[in-house]
Structure formats: C-alpha cells, structure tokens
Amino acid sequence: MQTIRKREGFEGQRAIVLPKKILEVCGYTPPVNALYITDIGFYPRAAYHYRERPNGISQNILIYCTEGKGWLEVPSGTYKVNPNEFLIIPADMPHKYGADEKSPWTIHWVHFKGIQAPYFASLLSRQYKEYVSYSPFLDERIRIFDSIVRALESGYSLDNLTYSNISFAYLLASFSFPEKFALAHHTIQKDAVDLSIEYMQQHLDVSLTLEQMASAINLSVSHYSSIFRKKTGYSPVVYFNHLKIQHACQYLQFTTLRINEISSKVGIEDPYYFSRMFTKIMGISPQEYRNKKG
C-alpha cells in the first residue's frame, strides 16, 4: 500500500502565505527589505507531511521541530531531525523533507527572503556546512513566533510588516546564538566561562593572575585557558583587560576623576601602563576619549 503524502492539511495547523503584492512592497521598503517573511506556519503532529522541490525555491526555509521526528535530504546528504532541532534550507537548493511515519513531527516553519537573507542562512547553517542543528526548547522563542503570526493575521499594514520582520530577525538570532538568547531570558545554567567572567567583573578593581582566575572556578590553568579561548576567542587575561578598559570608559564619560584615579579604580597602579593599554585597545588615548564624550 502506497504511503499517503501531504503538503498541508493538519488538524490545528496555522499558515499564512503573504500576497504577491505585499511581498513586492516588502522587497523595496526599508527596513523590511533587509529580511522578510514570505510564508509562515505551524503544523502539529503532521502525519505524512512531505515536500519535494528538485530545483529548490527562491526563499530560504527554516523548520523548527519541537516534537516527533522528521528528515531532510539535500545534495550533501540525508539528515534525521529530532525534537528541539531546526533545519535550514538555503534558497535555490534542491531538497526533500518529511515527517517520520511512526512519530510525525510538530513544526514551526518560515520561508524568508531579503537583502540580508543569505547572510542569515549562512549563519544558521554555519557557513552552509550544517543543515540540521540542535537548539534547546525555549518558551520565549515560541512566544516570539506566535506574536509574529498574530501580527500578520491582523493585516498587512506597514506597521505590522515592520514589527513582524524585525521580530523575525530576533527569532533567527535565537537559533544562531541560543546560549546568549537563553541567558537574556535567564533560562540556562551558567557554565565555567560565564562564572569566570562574572568573577572578573566583580574584581575589576584589582589585578588578577591567570592562576587566580583558574583557581576561582576550580580548574587547572591549562584547561581553563583552553575552554575560555574556545568560547570567547580571547585569552582570560586579554578578556579581563578588555573589561577593565570598558569600565574605564564609563569613568571617563560619566565622572571627572583624573586618569591616575581611574587607573587605580580598575586595578592598574601604573597610570602610564594604563594609558598605553587603553590606547592599544580603544585606538585613542584616555584623554582623547574623554574629550570626545557628548
């Protein structure tokens, strides 16, 4: 018996396809033309869901699976899609995808275009290397999705289009930077690097050695340095100095403290060393920075 396949038509589904004339407006109206939705929807328990596009389509596609399972086939291979995973299909890429027959997926999906759409597609797929990625379930992400759908359901005024598509950029950021998104909503436990940065922020008025930083979170110096650089792109000492200079900028901008007083407040006793470090990081001297304020 041949398996029934369906493009749409699932109980409880929501779907919006923006009219061609509205998409034309989106295509030439800033800031919407940078990134805009062409289709958006929600398919719960989408049994026998299947789509095949041998030549791809002109939009980029994002599908987020919150329950059940599915699969994706693109030229680079076939990928399983599990709960709390999303798939990204760049524009014009041939593809097939569908729900698992035994445990059909529940998906939130969006088609999108715009001047910056290729950049977002590249970011989501990690430079077109990963088409299926894990992203933890976050209530706030679903609330953003629902707010976009509600806005579009209420009509295609320029206000609604602008709100929806700016919100959509934030939704994409939640997939590209899930840890930062979750941290902003206080939903994840901080890791060793996060705790170390908090420790640095609490000790900006003193000089810390690498050994002290590692000891504060009970790690060896070598392991601490490795995981810190991997996550931030900087060594702990350089990162700490950046925080100090960032704090010094606030003193320069919002107080009348002398340079040597600010140097002391950020734990650098030699004001000449402080000035050299400031200039190296900021590109101008502390006094020049102060003169530019306002």
Give tens-digit pLDDT for 1-41: 346 787 777 888 889 999 898 999 999 999 999 999 999 99
Q: What is the pLDDT of residues 118-157, one digit of tens each?
A: 999 999 998 888 999 998 888 889 999 999 998 998 889 8
The answer to whether 251 and 205 have CB atoms below 8 angstroms apart is no
Q: What is the pLDDT of residues 55-79, one digit of tens each?
A: 999 999 999 999 999 999 999 999 9
Close Cβ partners of 23 (under 8 Å, ≥ 6 residues apart): 36, 38, 113
Separation of alpha carbons 274 and 41, rounded Å: 55
For residues 247 and 75, which has the higher predicted lDDT (pLDDT)? Answer: 75
* AA letter at 120: F
Query: What is the pLDDT at residue 170?
Result: 93
b/e burial code for range 21-60 (CB count within 10 A of at least 16 → b): ebbebbeeeeebbbbbbbbbbbbbbbbebbbeeeebbebb
Separation of alpha carbons 115 and 294, rounded Å: 34
Query: What is the pLDDT at residue 185?
Result: 65
Q: Is the pLDDT of residue 45 over 80?
A: yes
Separation of alpha carbons 1 and 222, rounded Å: 61
Query: What is the pLDDT at residue 184?
Result: 67
Separation of alpha carbons 87 and 291, rounded Å: 49
Supply 39's token pair. 């289709």
Query: What is the pLDDT at residue 276?
Result: 94
Close Cβ partners of 90 (under 8 Å, ≥ 6 residues apart): 56, 60, 118, 121, 122, 125, 128
Torsion angle (degrees, nearest 10) of CA 149, 151, 157, 162: -90
CA 35 from chain center: how many Å? 15
Q: What is the pLDDT of residues 163-199, one digit of tens each?
A: 999 999 999 999 988 777 777 665 556 789 889 988 9
